[in-house]
Amino acid sequence: MLPVNPERFLADLHTLRSFGAAGVGKGVVRPAYSDADIAAREWLAGRMREAGLAVHVDPVGSVFGLSEGQSLLLGSHSDSQPEGGWLDGALGVISALEVARASAEAGGPPVSVVSFQDEEGRFGVTTGSAVWSGNLSLEKADRLTDRDGVTFAEARARMPGRSDDFVEPSRFTGFLEMHIEQGPVLDREGETIGVVDAIVGIRDIKITFVGEQNHAGTTPMQGRRDAFQVLSRFNNLILERFANVVTPSTVWTIGHVSLHPNASSIVPGKVTFSMQWRDGDADRLGRMEAIIRETAEELATADQFDLSFGPMLGLEPVEMDTRLRTALERAAEAEVPGRWRRMPSGALHDATNVSQLMPVSMLFVPSIGGISHAFGEDTDEADLVTGLNVLAVAVTEMAD
């Protein structure tokens, strides 16, 4: 196995956490293109150079550390959710850095590293890798806006040292992404490693209802065109109508609501909210979309609301490459015999996009209590090191 250094790996993970450290415990606030995100990427680029890798910052600010010639690509993302933990994405990037460093010290096999930009979807869904893979055109990405109306084009211009060129994908033989599970299964079952067999698909859209803003004391209940009430009715109808379509593993979330003007004595005149849904079956995602659109249109017509939909964002479900997955499974069995499982990923990952370009596979370590996208996200350091070792064994085996 490659001589990975667990102390150096953990020290780098903790250093990355210091960029945007926030909240309780090991929380992080490091959204894409924030000052903390940019500073973290500059630090990462320095660590890549020290490891002998050639740094390439692509036009959207994804940071690559390139090994010479053909190589495996390892990595994930270093941006965070608006409130996130220290491991989501960071684990995949720093484990990649450690394996690449160990590989350079051992004289091969060649390993390159990447931290994709905006995986967490300040603008799109896994925006940086979506653009690299061709799942999303740069032109379309540039027009996407965050919740404050900043465009992707404006945000990516903040990232220093960008090249005009994207990295040529054919220089990579495959992509491995290590990640925390972000769900309860491994922790609950007392297992240490998950080898991913498939990643679910996702759809994400912003919906806006415009009614009539008015005085909360003088406007009779009858005839109000209250934007909060229409959202509430929409949610209730969706719950009923999804019941015949979804399975126990289907999920959907209204995670962001902007109510205007958001004051206790004003009947709200406008609401914009996010509607996101995920499933492993692309047809089911389509049937859910039809219900969402029909329900919103029905309510708008019945109660005289203007209705508009933002751009439809999404990724299709994908399966992992059998050869790479088998290498990870063999490595897991060697490191933690009987304490690993094959499992699907309910979270989205850059690996979904990269699968358009080359064979990909993924590896999970447990999330304590299944918590993620929250300051409380954590994993035992012993499990982080086990994941690093499994990754290093798999990389060594794939090179043979």
What residue ranges bind Mn ion (CB under 5 A)?
88-89
Nearer to ligand HGY, 251 or 290 (CB): 251
Amino acid at site 111: V
Smallest gap, in angstroms, from Cβ of residue 193 to ligand HGY?
20
Smallest gap, in angstroms, from Cβ of residue 119 to ligand HGY?
5
Nearer to ligand HGY, 17 or 77 (CB): 77
348 interface partner picked from ligand HGY, Mn ion, none, CB below 5 to 8 A per type? ligand HGY
231 interface partner picked from ligand HGY, Mn ion, none, CB below 5 to 8 A per type? none
Binding of ligand HGY at residue 315 (CB under 6 A)? Answer: no
Binding mask 101-130 for ligand HGY (x = CB under 6 A): ------------------xxx---------
DSSP state letters, 22-75: -SSTT-B---TTSHHHHHHHHHHHHHHHHTTPEEEE-TT--EEEEPSSSEEEEE
Smallest gap, in angstroms, from Cβ of residue 303 to Mn ion?
36
Sequence length of the chain is: 400
Smallest gap, in angstroms, from Cβ of residue 373 to Mn ion?
6
Nearer to Mn ion, 121 or 211 (CB): 121
Whether the upstream peptide bond of residue 261 has omega within 30° of 0, thus cis, is yes
Which residues have CB under 8 Å from 307's CB, separation 6+? Answer: 207, 208, 209, 210, 296, 297, 299, 300
74 interface partner picked from Mn ion, ligand HGY, none, CB below 5 to 8 A per type? none
391 interface partner picked from ligand HGY, Mn ion, none, CB below 5 to 8 A per type? none
- How far, rounded to the nearest angstrom, does the alpha carbon of residue 27 sit from its chain's CA centroid? 17
Return the residues of window 348-377 that contact ligand HGY according to CB under 6 A: 348
Amino acid at site 360: V
**Nearest-angstrom CA–CA distance, 396 and 157:** 38
**Nearest-angstrom CA–CA distance, 177 and 362:** 5
Give the residues lining the site for ligand HGY (CB under 6 A).
Answer: 119-121, 347-348
